[in-house]
Amino acid sequence: MTLDLISFLVLSLIAIATALGMLLSRNAIYSALFLVLNFVTVAVFYLLLGAPFIAMAQITVYAGAIMVLFLFVIMLLGAESLPETEVLPWQRPLAVFLAIALAVEATFLFITRARPEGDILAPAATVNMMDNLREMSMILFNQYLLPFEVTSILLLVAMVGAIVLVRKEKRVP
């Protein structure tokens, strides 16, 4: 076993454990922290694949900005823990059916599409990283400027909406 394979296996176990911890935690803050750890694990996967820019973007954007927004909304709404609710009779069978359908589909795709069709070549060592970043930024801010701006406005509206929802009306005596 190589060091890359061992690190991949350890990281995959951590990613699966943090995803399960996020899903099974009854406390919303613990779920958000499990999600941050999962994002960091995915960033380390990107580092193992030789993509340091995507790894740093993963940590900066997802683990940094979006999770701060999630935690801000959780704390603002006071939804640290979920209340006990009654489960409707059709929810569990539907969840089991959808989980089985997802497992069957994932297995089918893994079997039919996971066959390599040739040798995987390492990226060329002569690629200049600054040229790649420049090309990526030109594409992002030229071709995809509208979706980029729409996403920023959507996040702003979501934050303002959360503040409006929890704002308490002041009564004048």
pLDDT tens string 59-118: 888 878 777 777 777 777 766 555 666 778 888 899 899 989 989 988 887 787 766 666
CA distance 18 to 35: 7
CA distance 105 to 124: 35
Structural contact between residues 50 and 37, judged by C-beta atoms closer than 8 angstroms? no
Model confidence band, residue 145 (pLDDT cutoffs 50, 70, 90): confident
Nearest to residue 65, comparing CAs of 154, 161, 155?
A: 155
pLDDT tens string 29-54: 788 889 889 999 999 999 888 888 88
Nearest to residue 58, comparing CAs of 69, 37, 42?
A: 42
Rounded to two decimals, the pTM is 0.55
Structural contact between residues 72 and 31, judged by C-beta atoms closer than 8 angstroms? no
Residue identified by tokens 């039919």 is 112
